[in-house]
Structure formats: C-alpha cells, structure tokens
Amino acid sequence: MKRSLVCLLGLALFAALLAAGCSPVPAARAALQATETAPSGGGEARATLSPDGATVAPEAQPTLLAPTPTLIPDFNCINCHTNADLLMALAVEEATPEAPSEGSG
C-alpha cells in the first residue's frame, strides 16, 4: 500500500513538473528522488535504481516516452550524464597535463 502511494506521489510530481515545462530528464530525476526518499515499508526504496534497466520506474516510462516512442536508454547512465551539477562535483582533473604542442594541419 505504502509503495503504491509512493509511486503515485512520484508520478504526480513528475506530471506537475512536465506540465510546468520542465525537460523530461530533470522531471524523471525528481520522480526518482521522490521514490527514493519516501519511506518504504520493506526496505526496498532503491528498487527503482536496480542494475536492470527494465525495472527502473516502469510505470513512469510510458509517460516519459510521450509523445514520440522514445526509449530511455540505460537510465542510470542518462541520469548522471545529464546532471551538470553532479558531473562538476565528480569531475577530476585529467591525468595528462597540458603540453605545449603548436597547431597542426
């Protein structure tokens, strides 16, 4: 029962964000966060982040696909790589320092 309520809450939040003109991914991210942070009865709050992409918020995906039949490829990859703040926080300086080569071609 609680899990259904969580899903409903997530979907409602997602729909609200979508209606407000937010891009699909941040909206989906918010929906995911809602499902992750809401209390769950069986300690399965992270079920939506299963390594198996097929189990990621299955009920939310049809909404994300609209209006064209777009796949959500590998949600975990997309979830991080569309998040500039997260990438900035995780960014590390490249191992190879700049070398002063001059032009080419």
Partner 1 sequence: MPPLEAWEKVLIDWEALQEDMHRYLPCTTCHAGIDDADMETAHSGLIADPSADAVASCGRCHPNIAPFQSASLHNSLAGYDTVLYARSVPENHPAIEEGESYHCNSCHTTCGDCHVSQPDSVGGGLVEGHAFVRTPSMSRQCTACHGSRVKNEYTGAHEGIPADVHLRSARMICTDCHTGDEMHGVVQTTNGIQAGAAAHRYDGPQSPTCESCHADQVGVGSGNPYHEEHGTELLSCQVCHSVAYINCSTCHLERTAEDVPYFRLEDEEMGFYIGRNVLRNAERPYRYVPVRHVPTWPGLFDLYGENLLPNFDNLPTWTYATPHNIQRNTPQTASCESCHTNNAIFLTPDRVLPEEQAANAGVIVPAAPPLPEGYAPAATPQGGPAPTPTPDTGL
Per CB under 8 A, residues contacting partner 1 are 23-25, 46, 49, 51-53, 68, 70-71, 73-82, 84, 87-88, 90-94, 96-105
Q: CB-wise, 1 or 54, nearer to partner 1?
A: 54
Q: How far is the CB of 9 from partner 1 (least distance, A)?
A: 21
Work out how close the CB of 79 gets to partner 1 at its nearest, in angstroms, rounded to a whole number: 8
Nearest CB to partner 1, comparing residues 1 and 103: 103
Token pair for 52 = 């198996």
Among left, alpha and beta (phi > 0; psi -120 to 50; other), residue 94 is beta
Distances (CA, A) of 40 to 2, 18, 33: 6, 25, 13
CA–CA–CA angle 33, 34, 37 (5° rounding): 80
39 vs 69, beta carbon nearer partner 1: 69
